[in-house]
């Protein structure tokens, strides 16, 4: 890793892709649609261009994304370090979020590219392409593939659509732009089957996800002014329902959608005694990335997360207090 991380253009990334042959693509632990979609999207394009490519994720492929063509390329990192020319970290705000096993697997690789859309990304690559105005890493990669004239096989087309769709709340979040819709239109012109992909993405959940929603609703609380809503998933519930990590993906939007709520928070008890906190905001004045940063987390102004080395009840009290302080600032109290 170089000591002075460098921001680069798409054309400079293209030079690296042209000059090297073997690549390892990584994405963050507990991967979502943008993480996996970005890996498959860029990975399949590079493979179609004749490159040697491997796709590692610390937690492997989520069951919910196994319908994607090309998903069989996602593998857990091997125990021994691999040989490759370049590592490309995708949709991952900080290097530790790639996971210890992934970092060990690529420990011999000298050149790192970091492609992401999180505003909190510290530019940890040797070369960094960070666009915090983009709603999804998948959109950055679409622009990169088109600009460089790389192949766009069906696997890439479908994966990039799912990447962007899931990170924009199915094209509903404020980060969605005309460019986002233009991208979707272009992918449809290239043969993308919108109905089937959307059905597989949003209408194909296991029954245990509904059981989880019921359990979460029983923990739902609101602040006295109705501005903050939060719920809690404890480890006992996770074990009772035999949950997978991806089962909770997107459920926070249920409480974010409550009329009057500006900040939604999901507290999750983890097996190692730490607490995962996910936050969503409807109003940029309630900047959840700024709140997350107080506890070493990050993300975007409207969506952020924290991994806190504290028991759930302690973490919950501290985060809610920070949100309350921000609420009072916004309201001029």
Tokens standing for 19?
């000059």
- Judge if 281 and 294 occupy the same domain: yes
CATH number at residue 93: 3.90.1640.10
- Amino acid 6: pLDDT: 78
What's CA 122's distance to the chain center, in Å?
16
Is residue 62 one of the residues assigned to a domain?
Answer: yes
Element holding 271 (H helix, E strand): none
Domain membership flag for residue 1: no
Helix (H, G, I), strand (E, B) or coil at 9: coil
Question: Are residues 180 and 42 part of one domain?
Answer: yes
| Separation between Cα atoms, residue 5 and residue 114, nearest integer Å | 10
**Which tokens in the block code for residue 45?**
């394009």
Q: Are strands 111-116 and 127-130 parallel, antiparallel or unpaired?
A: parallel
- pLDDT, position 2: 38
* pLDDT on residue 5: 62
Residue 132 resides in a domain: yes
- In angstroms, how far is the first alpha carbon of the chain from the final one? 46
Task: Say if CB 84 and CB 31 are below 8 A apart.
Answer: no
How far, CA to CA in Å, does 310 sit from each of 121, 275, 288, 313?
Answer: 24, 6, 19, 8
Residues near 84 by beta carbon (within 8 Å), at least 6 away in sequence: 22, 23, 24, 52, 54, 106, 109
Sequence-ordered alpha helix ranges (H) in the chain: 10-19, 33-48, 100-105, 137-148, 154-167, 178-189, 194-202, 207-217, 235-241, 252-256, 288-293, 312-331
Parallel, antiparallel, or unpaired for β 22-27 and 52-57?
parallel
Cα–Cα distance measured from residue 36 to residue 163, given in angstroms and rounded to the nearest whole number: 7
On whether both 197 and 212 belong to a single domain, the answer is no
CA distance 248 to 57: 19
DSSP state of 247: G
Query: Are 178 and 66 members of one domain?
Result: yes
Q: Which residues contact 197 (CB under 8 A, 6 or more apart)?
A: 158, 161, 162, 165
301 and 152 in a single domain? The answer is no
Of 187, 202, 217, the residue at which a domain comes to its end is 202
Same domain, 33 and 78: yes
Query: Whole domain around residue 260: which residue ranges?
Result: 207-331
Q: What share of the chain is helix, strand, coil (3-state, %, to 5)?
A: 45, 20, 40
Provide the residue-wise pLDDT of the chain in tens; the chain has 333 residues.
333 467 899 999 999 999 999 999 999 999 999 999 999 999 999 999 999 999 999 999 999 999 999 999 999 999 999 999 999 999 999 999 999 999 999 999 999 999 999 988 999 999 999 999 999 999 999 999 999 999 999 999 999 999 999 999 999 988 999 999 999 999 999 999 999 999 999 999 999 999 999 999 999 999 999 999 999 999 999 999 999 989 999 999 999 999 999 999 999 999 999 999 999 999 999 999 999 999 999 988 999 999 999 999 999 999 999 999 999 998 886
Give the residue from 149, 175, 202 where a domain finishes: 202
Q: Extract the tokens encoding 278.
A: 């996910």
CATH number assigned to the domain comprising residue 272: 3.10.310.30
In this predicted structure, what is the pLDDT of residue 15? 97
Residue 49 tokens read as 């261009």
Per-residue pLDDT, 74: 98
Same-domain status, 193 and 224: no
CB 157 within 8 A of CB 192: yes
- Those residues whose C-beta lies under 8 Å from the C-beta of residue 33, and which sit 6 or more positions away, are 65, 162, 163, 165, 166, 167, 201, 249
Tell me: do 284 and 136 sit in the same domain: no
With beta carbons less than 8 A apart as the criterion, state whether 22 and 52 touch: yes
What DSSP assignment string belongs to 88-122?
A: EEES-SSGGGG-HHHHHHTTT--EEEEEE--TT--
Structure tokens at 6: 């460098």
For residue 167, give the nearest of 130, 199, 135 by alpha carbon: 135
Question: What domain count does the chain have?
Answer: 2
Cβ distance 166 to 63 under 8 Å? no
Give the distance, in angstroms, between the CA of residue 199 and the centroid of all CA atoms in the same chain.
20
């Amino acid at each position: 890793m170089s000591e002075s991380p460098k921001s680069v253009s798409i054309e400079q990334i293209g030079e690296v892709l042209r000059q090297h042959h073997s690549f390892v693509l990584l994405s963050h632990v507990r991967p979502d649609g943008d993480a996996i979609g970005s890996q498959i999207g860029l990975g399949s394009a590079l493979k179609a261009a004749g490159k040697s490519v491997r796709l590692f994720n610390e937690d492997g492929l989520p069951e919910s994304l196994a319908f994607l063509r090309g998903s069989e390329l996602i593998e857990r990192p091997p125990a021994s370090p691999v040989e490759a020319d370049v590592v490309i970290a995708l949709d991952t705000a900080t290097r530790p979020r790639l996971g210890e096993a992934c970092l060990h697997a690529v420990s011999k690789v000298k050149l790192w590219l970091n492609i992401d859309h999180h505003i909190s990304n510290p530019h940890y690559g040797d070369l960094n392409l960070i666009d915090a105005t983009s709603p999804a890493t998948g959109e950055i990669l679409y622009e990169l593939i088109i600009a460089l004239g790389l192949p766009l096989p069906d696997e890439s087309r479908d994966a990039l659509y799912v990447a962007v769709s899931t990170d924009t709340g199915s094209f509903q979040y404020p980060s969605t732009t005309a460019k986002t819709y233009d991208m979707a239109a272009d992918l449809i012109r290239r043969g993308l089957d919108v109905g089937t992909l959307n059905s597989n993405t949003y209408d194909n959940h296991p029954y245990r996800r509904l059981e989880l929603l019921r359990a979460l609703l029983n923990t739902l609380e609101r602040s006295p002014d109705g501005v903050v809503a939060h719920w809690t998933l404890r480890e006992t519930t996770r074990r009772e329902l035999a949950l997978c990590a991806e089962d909770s993906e997107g459920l926070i939007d249920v409480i974010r959608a409550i009329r009057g709520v500006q900040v939604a928070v999901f507290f999750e008890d983890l097996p190692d005694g730490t607490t995962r906190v996910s936050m969503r905001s409807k109003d940029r004045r309630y900047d959840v990335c700024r709140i997350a940063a107080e506890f070493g987390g990050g993300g975007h102004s409207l969506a952020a997360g924290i991994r806190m080395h504290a028991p759930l009840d302690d973490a919950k009290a501290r985060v809610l207090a920070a949100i309350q302080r921000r609420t009072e600032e916004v309201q001029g109290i």
